[in-house]
């Protein structure tokens, strides 16, 4: 009975150590996302772009847009991050 308990404790200790050491590596994976849309028609034209990424624990986000039509044009952007 003692050997079974000791084996279970040893296995649990090894499994917990592996999970504790491996979890930060999974959480720090690099991620990239980008989306772009453009169009034009009888009422004007538009452009829209979003870029977001995480690299080496630093996050970056950027969104920009523009529109032109019968009543003029407009544009804007938002940028945030530590990159």
pLDDT digits (tens, 9 = 90+) for 3-45: 776 666 666 767 666 656 655 555 567 888 999 999 999 889 9
**Residue from 46, 38, 37 nearest 68 by CA:** 46
Give, in degrees to the nearest 5, the angle at Cα 28 between 22 and 16: 20
3-class DSSP state of 42: coil
pLDDT, one tens digit per residue, over 57-69 is 788 999 999 999 9
């Amino acid at each position: 009975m003692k050997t079974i308990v000791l084996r279970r404790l040893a296995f649990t200790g090894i499994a917990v150590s592996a999970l504790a050491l491996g979890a930060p590596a999974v959480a720090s994976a690099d991620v990239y996302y980008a989306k772009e849309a453009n169009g034009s028609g009888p009422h004007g034209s538009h452009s829209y772009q979003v870029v977001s990424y995480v690299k080496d624990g630093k996050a970056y986000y950027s969104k920009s847009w523009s529109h032109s039509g019968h009543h003029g044009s407009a544009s804007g952007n938002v940028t945030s991050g530590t990159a």
